[in-house]
Structures are given as C-alpha cells and as structure tokens.
Amino acid sequence: MTAQQKPDFDAIAVGAGFAGLALIHYLREAGLSIRVIDRAADIGGTWTWNRYPGAMTDSESYYYCLTFSKELLQEWSWTRRYPDWEETHRYMHFVADKIGAWPHIQLNTEVVSADYQEDTGYWLVTTSDGNTSTCKYFVSAMGMISEPVIPKIDGMDKFKGPLFHSSRWPQEGLDYAGKRVGIIGAGATTVQMTPVMAKDAESVTVFQRTPNFILPAMQKPMTPEWEKEIKENYDEIVAKCRNHVFGMAFDSPVGRNVADTPPEEVQRIFEENWTGSFRWVFETFDDLLSNPEANRAASQFIIDKMKERVDDPEIAELLTPSTDDYPLFAKRPPLDHGYLEAFNRDNVHLVDIKDREPIVEITETGVRTSKNLYEFDIIVLATGFRAYTGALEAFPIRGKSGQTLAEKWQKTSNSIMGVCVADFPNLFTITGPQAPFANLPTSIEQNAIWIADCIKKMENEDYDVCAPRQDAEDEWSAHVAEVHEQTLMAEGDKVHSWMMGANIENHKPRVLIYFGGANVYYDKLRESVEAGFPELEFQRLAS
C-alpha cells in the first residue's frame, strides 16, 4: 500500500468521553472523517464508568462543559453547582445529539493494538472483534484518570461477595441497602461515595492509609437568577477558564501573598473565602502552592475546619493530616459533600491501615488486618488510577521502531506538551503526560484545537507524516521537570501521589504534570500553531 491509497478513516480516536466528542466536532469541522471507538456500552468516558453512589464533578457545572458552540452553552441547563454522574452523562448525550456525533461512534469495541506503518504513515488499529482499520491519524481520547490501580492484596480472589474497583461500578447498579460495605482507599472517590452509601448500607468501613486535606464542596442548586447571570456572561466565563492556571473560571491571580499579609488578615481572608470548591486555594493567595510557609498556613486552616466537623476527637485526628506530613496539593485534595460528618454516624467506621492495623489479607468474608477481621457483603477498591499514562500503556501502541509507549516510558513519561510523542508519528494524545492538570474540558478543547490545526496543515500542504522531534521532546520534558521542582507538588512522591505516578507499586515516581499554569500552556499551544508547529517534522513519502 502507498500513502496515496486512502485509509479507512482520516482519524481514529479511542474514547467517547469529552475528548472524543470534542474531536468529532473539531475534526469534522476540518473536513475529516473520524471514527471514535470505545469499549463501553455508552458514551461518557469517566461518567459512564464511575457510577458509584455520590459520583459527581469537582469542577462547577457551568464550566465543566464543552464551549465550542454558543448554542450548546445556552441550551443546556444545569440543576446545581456540581452535577452528579447521571446529569453529566445526560449532558454528554445532549452534546452528542446536538452535534450529530452518533454516526462517528462505535461502542462496545475495545482497541487491542495500534501499529504505525512506516511505508504509508498510516496506523493499523486492531479491535477486540478481530477487525482491523487503517487511519492516518491515531488519537488517544482515553482520559488521564481512567486506568484503575488494582492493589495486590493476598486472597482477593477468595472473597465471596462483589469486589470491584470503584471505576468499574456495576453498570446495572448495585443494591447495597442493608449490606456491610468495606471501602479500601480514602481518596476523592471514597470521600464522595461514603456519605451517600452510609445512608442505606448497614455499615460502611473505610480503610485509610494516608489522610487527605479535605475541602468542602458546598453544593447548591442552580437558581434561575444564577443561570441567567451565567448565560449572559458565557464569553467571559470561557475566557476566564482559558486564562486560569488550572483552567477554571476563577479570578486570578489575586495579587496577594500570605508572605506579605499580617497573620490575622490571612485568617480573615481564608474565612471569608471558605465558600466551597477549589476556589479557596486559588482565590485567596497566590503563593499557597509555592511558598512552604503559606502552604502551612492554608493546611492548618483546613485541618482546623476538618476537625470541627468530626465529633470523636480520635477519629478527627486520624482523618486529618498534620502540616508536617506533606504540603497541601502534594496530593490532590478531595472535595467533600458530608464525608467528615458521615463519621459521626454509628454505622460508619474508619480503620487506620497505615500505623495501627495494616491489611493482611482478604478472606472469603471480609478484610483481615493485623488486629481484626472485618466482615463485609461488598468490598470496593477505591484505590485510584494509573494517571496520564495508564490508558496509553494498557494495550500496545507501537511507534516507528516497533517500540510501545509502555516500553518507551519505563523510566520517564516524556512527551511534547502532552499532545505527541517522539518516535510515534501521526499519533496525538489528548491530556497526555506532561500536560497540565486542570479543568479537563478546558484542556481537552485546547488540545483538540491544536490537533485539528496540525492535521489541517498536514492536509492543506499534502504531507503524509508529522514526526514529533526528539529535541523538542527533550526540551519540553526538561522545562516541565524544572517547573515541577519549584512547586510543592514535587513532594508528592513521599505520599504516593498519583500526580507523580507514585501510587503505583514498583514504578519510579516521575514528572507527569506541567505545573507552569494551564493558561501558560494554552498560550504555548497557540504559539506552536502560529509558528507552524516547530516541534514537528513534516514529511512527504515517496509514492
């Protein structure tokens, strides 16, 4: 086959969540044919897999959405500040219907390998049904938190009841009313799940290794007045996201540092802004994530707030980190909808598996720690994800030399701006490693725009191959590492932070996230487009 023979599709993308939908929009707009493949039975990505009770967004609804169409923004009405998975899922169906995405989507199909073909510049994509398809551009829209981490605990196969990872919640639902539920892990997922399950379960027992800094979500309904204000100001909201360090519609920078503010004033500002969401971190002071003393002041404020909400001082102590443990944001802080108060109920229990009673094994009937056997009907592994690289390493994606991404990324997980990887021509990744960690729809759209613009250049100028340059990858990775070292997030390796892949057993922690500001990163993507993609080498194959 020569490059002149047309592939089956211009682009094949894996993943029918926000990224898949955005790609359908942007690539179709560029006049390309696209097929989006997903192994799930429905679109939604994260919001189709994570159906656990209480699953909801931590970004506020009105900017946790796609912004490429004013019509989409104006026609959809959110019911509350943070939508649960069902509402987000309904929204995604609304988008798919509105943009006519369905003919481009193939569900219930798993991609099992993707191989770059040097002679044509095409990718050969093999699916679990045994079919193969070719495409010129292969795009990962698989999400940066989608591949679960399953802990290795002795006896896991012995448990008689349902035992599953939180992101593999039974799609048909699970009746846990009156049942004894054990949850292993105490991260953002557990913080959302526990108070909801506690209402109907006979008991909920959380096995906690590391306590988290937990911020209040402060859910509230969307009132007609609030909705009107949002819809009248959507251009400004979208611009705010585009210009914010974490891609959120927050005011920033606030131009104030803890270091320059008298302590009583710091406390007053902390208190005044204690109104829910991550706003508190970004709308109080600019130095919380860079200055250890400022971070310590913020951490202590959170600790005091957390302890106020838990009746039993011993449980309160166990649930809260100390400022000496690790800085705020070295682990991604969960947002809370009643998790802490749930421990005031008689049917919710906390087991400290770090210092007091580590888990020894899972038995037929429950979890055995060094001190007790806890009996359960259901065990949920809320043990997190192999972030950024997991989905890209879960099946072989073989580049130029036949090397897979997993092989390439054994020690470091380098990329160019999280959107492409040296030695993997015509491959694009949405929110790949070394992209920022930000409000995901904002980053997804910025990535999709860069990818669509790059493909438009390829097609307009008749190129067969775009090869990411090794020197550009080295340069970006060095920059990301340098910035990372200047933040307190670099301490995440001490506390198993997924933000450094430090939550994966036998895996060297690494720099996975660009912390130089999502807004700065989006500017860099734009500059790359304007400069004609200097990170890539464009080639024509001999016909």
Told to check if 390 binds ligand NAP by CB under 6 A, we report no
Q: How far is the CB of 208 from ligand NAP (least distance, A)?
A: 6
Ramachandran area for residue 492 (φ above 0: left; ψ -120 to 50: alpha; else beta) = alpha
Contacts to ligand NAP from residues 200-219, by CB under 6 A: 209-210
State the DSSP code for 172: T
Site for ligand NAP (CB under 6 A): which residue of 382, 422, 451, 536?
382
Told to check if 414 binds ligand NAP by CB under 6 A, we report no
State the DSSP code for 322: -
Task: From 188-196, 249-257, 283-291, 293-301, give the range in contact with ligand NAP by CB under 6 A.
Answer: 188-196
Site for ligand NAP (CB under 6 A): which residue of 120, 140, 146, 189?
189
Q: Which residues of 178-197 are buried (b: 16+ CB within 10 A; e: fewer)?
A: ebbbbbbbbbbbbbbbbbbb
Q: How far is the CB of 108 from ligand NAP (least distance, A)?
A: 25
* Inter-residue contact 246 to 438 (CB < 8 Å): yes
Choice between 9 and 339, CB closer to ligand NAP:
339
Told to check if 145 binds ligand NAP by CB under 6 A, we report yes
Site for ligand NAP (CB under 6 A): which residue of 17, 121, 143, 187?
187
Contacts to ligand NAP from residues 498-537, by CB under 6 A: 498, 503
- Letters for 347-376 (x = contact with ligand NAP by CB under 6 A, - = none) are ------x-----------------------
Told to check if 466 binds ligand NAP by CB under 6 A, we report no
Choice between 73 and 217, CB closer to ligand NAP:
217
Q: How far is the CB of 502 from ligand NAP (least distance, A)?
A: 8
Choice between 424 and 498, CB closer to ligand NAP:
498
Contacts to ligand NAP from residues 278-337, by CB under 6 A: 332
3-state secondary structure 504-537: CCCCCCCCCECCCCHHHHHHHHHHHHHCCCCCEE
Task: From 25-33, 97-105, 379-387, 474-482, give the range in contact with ligand NAP by CB under 6 A.
Answer: 379-387
Told to check if 57 binds ligand NAP by CB under 6 A, we report yes
DSSP for 184-195, written as a single string: E--SHHHHHHHH
Q: State how far the Cα of 490 lies from the Cα of 498, in Å rounded to an integer.
A: 12
Task: Kindly state the tokens that stand for 516.
Answer: 């130089």
Told to check if 81 binds ligand NAP by CB under 6 A, we report no
Choice between 47 and 521, CB closer to ligand NAP:
47
* Inter-residue contact 23 to 41 (CB < 8 Å): no
Q: State how far the Cα of 328 lies from the Cα of 317, in Å rounded to an integer.
A: 17
Task: From 56-64, 106-114, 232-240, 398-406, give the range in contact with ligand NAP by CB under 6 A.
Answer: 56-64
Task: From 26-34, 123-131, 250-258, 381-389, give the range in contact with ligand NAP by CB under 6 A.
Answer: 381-389
Q: State how far the Cα of 436 lies from the Cα of 246, in Å rounded to an integer.
A: 8
- Crossing angle of the two packed helices 292-308 and 263-272, in degrees rounded to 10: 50
Phi, psi (rounded to 5 degrees) for 305: -65, -40
Cα torsion for 350, 351, 353, 357, to the nearest 10°? 160
Q: How far is the CB of 135 from ligand NAP (least distance, A)?
A: 30
Phi, psi (rounded to 5 degrees) for 259: -55, -30
41 alpha-carbon distance from chain centroid: 21
Told to check if 241 binds ligand NAP by CB under 6 A, we report no
Site for ligand NAP (CB under 6 A): which residue of 385, 428, 521, 522?
385
Only one residue has tokens 């959120």, namely 248
Ramachandran area for residue 211 (φ above 0: left; ψ -120 to 50: alpha; else beta) = beta
**Intra-chain end-to-end CA distance of the chain, in Å:** 10
Told to check if 96 binds ligand NAP by CB under 6 A, we report no
Instruction: Read off the amino acid at residue 430.
Output: I
Task: From 178-186, 213-221, 225-233, 523-531, give the range in contact with ligand NAP by CB under 6 A.
Answer: 178-186
Q: Which residues bind ligand NAP (CB under 6 A)?
A: 56-58, 145, 151, 166, 184-190, 192, 209-210, 332, 353, 382-385, 496, 498, 503
